[in-house]
Chain A
């Protein structure tokens, strides 16, 4: 059974700092990996999608990498801002079927 783990569970940084969020998964046979952002009391907003054949994806200040063989992905946020404060979730889509398996998220706080 696929398991997704995100470390740390919570992170607090000063504004302007570059930071890395980690996601690991137990079964490397994935189809893709997706990073989401969730604001308190809100739904999930898709940030980046990495296909299994890709190594990384970039969008603005965000860069996500994928290493299937080691079962790891990282989300790099450059020059963090208070508006980046949210919970960040990673999810993997397994090769067969339609299921996304989610991690429990990293709660990020960026302090002004």
Chain B
């Protein structure tokens, strides 16, 4: 099993450009999450999904959109990138919400110029 994979690993954008980060998991997990990690701020939840076709806002959702069209995939979109979105983005998944551990992907390092 590959676990949780993320593409791309690195990306540089100019302000105003758009992009989509892809997360895939092969563990048949119901729950999927997008976090961002910033120095001095720790990891913060952007959006999450409790199952195929569902999405919900996390702690810092502004400027991002997500979609979960297939159970194994969770996409994070930036419609108009801003320098404040320069960060490392992590995807995670868990079997369910209650009491289950979360498994993380390797991360995507995004720089917005």
Contact = CB atoms under 8 A, between A and B. Distances in A.
Interface residues of B, number: 26
Interface in B61-113: 90, 92, 97-99, 101-107
A43 B97 contact: no
A99 B43 contact: no
B107 A42 contact: yes
A111 interface: no
Size class of the A contact interface (CB-based, 8 Å): 20 to 34
A10 to B, nearest CB: 14
Nearest to B50: A98
A72 B94 CA distance: 24
Which 3 interchain pairs have the tightest Cβ spacing? A44-B104, A49-B101, A43-B106
Interface of A: 4, 31-32, 34, 36, 41-46, 49, 51, 89, 91, 93, 97-100, 102-105
10 contacts: A42-B107, A43-B105, A43-B107, A46-B101, A46-B104, A91-B43, A98-B48, A98-B56, A99-B58, A102-B43
